């Protein structure tokens, strides 16, 4: 399946596309509509291969250096670029969480109050 997506990526030249029909392989059921491709599939074939290699290397930057013949900073820069393009989860702290932790740190509220407020 990854090879098919790679070919699709090559065919589209990186232009955004919408899938309009999905068919289940083992049945005659098909769903029609407008479906966006997942973020990983929207990456270039080269970036998809890089991510698959990183997973195969169990996240070892040293192994990535050896596999691709590139330096540590090059691997890190590419991973940072890919991470920026794949923002799937908001990693910014929630304002309420930050406020509760600040108030706890300043002694304005107790641990019990902080736990109660954060559990809401």
**How much is the pLDDT for 88?**
67
Residue numbers of the domain that contains 31:
2-85
| Count of structural domains within the chain | 2
DSSP code per residue over 27-87:
SS-EEEEEEEPPHHHHS-HHHHHHHHHHHHTTT-HHHHHHHHT--HHHHHHHHHHHHHHT-
The model's pTM is: 0.59
Question: What are the beta bridge partners of residue 21?
Answer: 32
Q: Read off the tokens for 91.
A: 């990693």
Q: What is the pLDDT of residues 38-57, one digit of tens each?
A: 888 888 889 999 999 999 99
**How much is the pLDDT for 90?**
62
**How much is the pLDDT for 67?**
95
- Assess whether 31 and 62 both reside in one domain: yes
What's the burial of 64, exposed, middle or buried (CB within 10 Å: 0-12/13-18/19+)? Answer: buried
Residue pair 117/100 in contact (Cβ under 8 Å)? The answer is yes
pLDDT at 116 over 90: no
Residues 10-14 have a mean pLDDT of 71
Q: Read off the tokens for 14.
A: 């990186």
Q: What is the pLDDT of residues 25-35, one digit of tens each?
A: 999 899 999 98
**How much is the pLDDT for 78?**
96
- Assess whether 102 and 81 both reside in one domain: no
- Assess whether 14 and 73 both reside in one domain: yes
- Assess whether 107 and 63 both reside in one domain: no
Q: What is the pLDDT of residues 57-89, one digit of tens each?
A: 999 999 999 999 999 999 999 999 999 888 766
């Amino acid at each position: 399946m990854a090879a098919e997506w790679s070919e699709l990526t090559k065919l589209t030249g990186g232009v955004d596309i919408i899938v309009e029909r999905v068919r289940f392989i083992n049945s005659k059921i098909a769903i029609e509509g407008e479906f966006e491709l997942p973020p990983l599939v929207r990456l270039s074939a080269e970036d998809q291969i890089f991510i698959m290699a990183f997973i195969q290397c169990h996240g070892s930057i040293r192994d990535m250096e050896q596999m691709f013949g590139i330096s540590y900073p090059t691997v890190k820069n590419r991973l940072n670029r890919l991470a920026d393009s794949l923002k799937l989860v908001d990693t910014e702290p929630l304002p309420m969480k930050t406020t509760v932790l600040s108030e706890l740190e300043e002694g304005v509220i107790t641990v019990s109050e902080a736990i109660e407020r954060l559990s809401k």
